[in-house]
Structure 1
């Protein structure tokens, strides 16, 4: 599991290790790129890509199912664009 500096605490490391997962958490007080620079923060990148869709940036829908439908559509568009860039389709 990869995490940013906000989770740099022994409590979180022990919780993750208790379920059998190896934590890779950036350390506080160390310069950025402290050994974790080669890993991509997939969740943060996904949120950044989804925020390109105005409807997902600010949640206007009251119903959860409609919001989830737009979220799935946004993810599908992102995947399709990546496949086009890799020329897989």
Structure 2
């Protein structure tokens, strides 16, 4: 996982984000080391990113600039938008006050744990 500034383009964060995904435990067979599919909006529409994903055997569904609308990705995107809205509710994460990335990640992990606990407690 990586932490990037707000002034960094999203496409520059894709490769570290995909590399930072931990192995996925499965009921049968070996652990999966990478995701099977990736959905992304037009901000990630670059040839080098498509090639990088294809080399690793990751199916990509990236909306193309000037060709497709982002409407079709809406059915997958709402889960991300909802999660980001839940995290924005945590005042400490709304603005980054911590100078060290480790501290910010610790507070993010704590916020995610609290969100999961609240969802399960319903």
Instruction: Pick the TM interval, shorter chain.
Output: 0.7 to 0.9
- Structure 1 stretches of 4+ with a deviation exceeding 4 A read 41-44
1:66–1:26 Cα change, 3 Å: same
1:19–1:78 Cα change, 3 Å: same
Would the aligned equivalents of 2:41 and 2:73 in 1 still touch at CA under 8 Å?
no
Give the TM-score normalised by the residue count of structure 2: 0.57
1:62–1:32 Cα change, 3 Å: closer
Give the TM-score normalised by the residue count of structure 1: 0.73
Aligned length: 84
SS in 2 for 1:23: strand
* RCO comparison, higher one (Cα < 8 Å, 6+): 1
SS in 2 for 1:59: coil
SS in 1 for 2:93: helix
Would the aligned equivalents of 2:40 and 2:73 in 1 still touch at CA under 8 Å?
no
- Structure 1: unaligned runs, 5 residues or longer: none
Per the TM alignment, residue 14 of structure 1 is displaced from its structure 2 partner at its CA by 1.4
